[in-house]
């Protein structure tokens, strides 16, 4: 038999206040734990990725010999492309370190400059053909191994033959540092170039452009189709088994794993319609299918939030159902529609699985400029870098993740701002 005093104490005001304080404490504790994990995550990501925004450079005196670059003195830029820039770089290094001899040491000396140095010299002469026949002091990009050593990512505690930077290379780097011919500068190439096999040359511009083109296709397809479908289901259609069937399937599609949409795109867009593989137009179509349920559900919720009195007043003035929706209900629901669309686009921005299924995992060195150019996306680029064995790609992976998170934060912040600014209180 229950004790009346115990029952009274259990439902007393003081007891309920105590339980409420305890519940608040648990909620605060959960929030603090979540915040701690978030700080640890971002601190780890920033610690690993900040090095990608800086690169080591070496100053060399480059002799653009007329006999090597343009022996026939044609002045033709196409002729400049045939020059042996690797040999020019080797001569500049041997001139800086004249004591180096032997094939093995010469090979080690050449490795302190990245492979991108050859392309840089070629590009410089295309921009400044008047340099032919002159000597110029140029800051060259150091190789990824030297860059990792300067950043403290390669330990010298292990034997010489077990690390990627040997003792002689370390001695040459120290000489360059003492003479002021070595510096750490902002890595502009990370933002202005596409992917590369050489870590010191790899950048995110190609992936960012591919992502932008893909999201444009996604928005162009998912927004109008999603909004029109939501208007039909919420405002214009009569309740029937057909509409119930559509609603159930829309809710189910919102929970389908994204890789299923990739398989659908592979089967339909590539195998049936023969659309170009690894192109933004295909990626946009696949992501549009994935985003549609989110846009439809968000739009229907926004339409449902508009008070019935708005509809009744418009009908009372003689407006048709379509005029009620298009002239009164939809404009009032647009803040919620935009918010749902941006959230759907944010989800599409971070997806990689459906893009992998349609071939956007390919190694692309060119920056795409049209919707049917071969391209990759930022999440897929991060995946490719994470799978690479070089240490320099570890910081590239973390830096790419930071850029992706920045875009996601900006898009979600825009959704919050739109909701706060245009939301109406009924």
HEC secondary structure over 123-137: HHHHHCHHHCCCEEE
Q: Per residue of the chain (426 residues), what is the pLDDT tens digit?
A: 455 555 555 567 788 888 889 999 999 999 999 999 999 999 999 999 999 999 999 999 999 988 888 888 888 888 888 888 999 999 999 999 999 888 899 999 999 998 888 888 888 888 898 998 899 999 999 999 999 999 988 888 888 778 889 999 999 999 999 999 999 999 999 999 999 888 889 999 999 999 999 999 999 999 999 999 999 999 888 888 888 888 888 988 888 888 899 999 989 999 999 898 889 999 999 999 999 999 999 999 999 989 999 999 988 888 888 899 999 899 999 888 988 899 899 989 988 889 988 888 888 888 999 999 999 999 999 999 998 888 899 999 999 999 999 998 988 888 888 777 776 666
pLDDT of residue 71: 85
Q: What are phi and psi of 141, to 5 degrees?
A: -80, 125
In the chain, what are the domain boundaries? 4-50, 54-199, 205-422
- For residue 91, which phi and psi values (nearest 5 degrees)? -65, -40
Structure tokens at 332: 């009032």
At residue 4, the pLDDT reads: 55
Taking the C-alpha atoms of residue 206 and residue 204, their distance in angstroms, rounded to an integer, is 6
Q: How far apart are CA 354 and CA 341, in angstroms?
A: 19
Q: Do the beta carbons of residue 292 and residue 226 sit within 8 Å?
A: yes
Buried b (16+ CB within 10 A) or exposed e, 173-189: beebeeeebbbeeebeb
Query: For the chain, how many residues are written?
Result: 426
Alpha-carbon torsion (352, 357, 362, 364), positive or negative:
negative
- Rounded CA separation 335/266 (Å): 34
The answer to whether 375 touches 214, Cβ cutoff 8 Å, is: yes
Reading the block at residue 157, the tokens are 């505690």
Structural element, H or E, at residue 168: helix 167-178
CATH superfamily of 205-422: MetI-like (1.10.3720.10)
Alpha helices, DSSP H only, in 199-279? Answer: 205-231, 241-254, 258-265
Show Cβ contacts of residue 195 under 8 Å, excluding neighbours closer than 6 positions: 202, 203, 206, 207, 363, 364, 365, 376, 381, 384
Report phi then psi at 58, rounded to 5. -125, 130
Minimal CA–CA distance to 233: which of 289, 338, 303?
A: 303
Residues 359/268, Cβ–Cβ less than 8 Å = no
CA 240 to CA 237: how far, in whole Å?
9
H/E/C letters for each residue in 65-134? CHHHHCCCCCCCHHHHCCCCHHHHHHHHHHHHCCCCCCHHHHHHHHCCECCHHHHHHHHHHHHCHHHCCC
């Amino acid at each position: 038999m229950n004790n009346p005093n115990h029952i009274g104490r259990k439902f007393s005001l003081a007891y309920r206040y105590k339980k409420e304080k305890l519940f608040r404490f648990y909620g605060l504790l959960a929030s603090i734990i979540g915040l701690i994990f978030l700080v640890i995550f971002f601190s780890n990501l920033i610690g690993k990725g900040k090095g990608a925004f800086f690169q080591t450079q070496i100053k060399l005196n480059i002799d653009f010999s007329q006999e090597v670059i343009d022996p026939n003195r044609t002045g033709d830029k196409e002729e400049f492309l045939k020059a042996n820039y690797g040999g020019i770089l080797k001569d500049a290094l041997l001139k800086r370190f004249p004591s180096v001899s032997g094939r093995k040491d010469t090979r080690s000396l050449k490795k302190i400059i990245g492979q991108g140095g050859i392309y840089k010299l070629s590009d410089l002469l295309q921009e400044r053909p008047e340099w032919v026949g002159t000597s110029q002091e140029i800051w060259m990009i150091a190789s990824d191994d030297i860059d990792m050593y300067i950043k403290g990512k390669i330990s010298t505690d292990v034997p010489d033959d077990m690390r990627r930077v040997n003792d002689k290379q370390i001695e040459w780097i120290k000489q360059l540092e003492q003479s002021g011919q070595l510096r750490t500068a902002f890595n502009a190439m990370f933002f202005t170039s596409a992917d590369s096999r050489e870590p010191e040359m790899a950048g995110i511009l190609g992936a960012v452009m591919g992502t932008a083109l893909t999201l444009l296709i996604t928005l162009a397809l998912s927004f109008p189709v999603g909004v029109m479908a939501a208007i039909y289901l919420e405002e214009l259609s009569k309740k029937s088994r057909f509409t119930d069937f559509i609603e159930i399937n829309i809710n189910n599609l919102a929970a389908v794993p994204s890789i299923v949409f990739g398989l659908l795109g592979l089967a339909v867009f590539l195998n049936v319609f023969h659309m170009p593989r690894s192109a933004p137009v295909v990626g946009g179509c696949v992501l549009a299918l994935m985003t549609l349920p989110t846009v439809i559900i968000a739009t229907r919720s926004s339409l449902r939030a508009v008070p019935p009195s708005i509809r009744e007043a418009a009908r009372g003035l003689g407006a048709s159902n379509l005029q009620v929706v298009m002239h009164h209900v939809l404009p009032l629901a647009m803040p919620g529609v935009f918010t749902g669309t941006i959230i759907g686009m944010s989800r599409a921005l971070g997806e990689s699985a459906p893009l992998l299924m349609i071939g956007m995992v390919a190694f692309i060195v060119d920056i795409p400029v049209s919707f049917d150019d071969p391209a990759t996306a930022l999440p897929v680029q991060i995946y490719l870098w994470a799978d690479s064995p070089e240490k320099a790609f570890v910081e590239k992976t973390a830096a790419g993740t930071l850029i992706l998170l920045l875009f996601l934060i900006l898009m979600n912040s825009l959704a919050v701002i739109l909701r706060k600014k245009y939301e109406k209180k009924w």
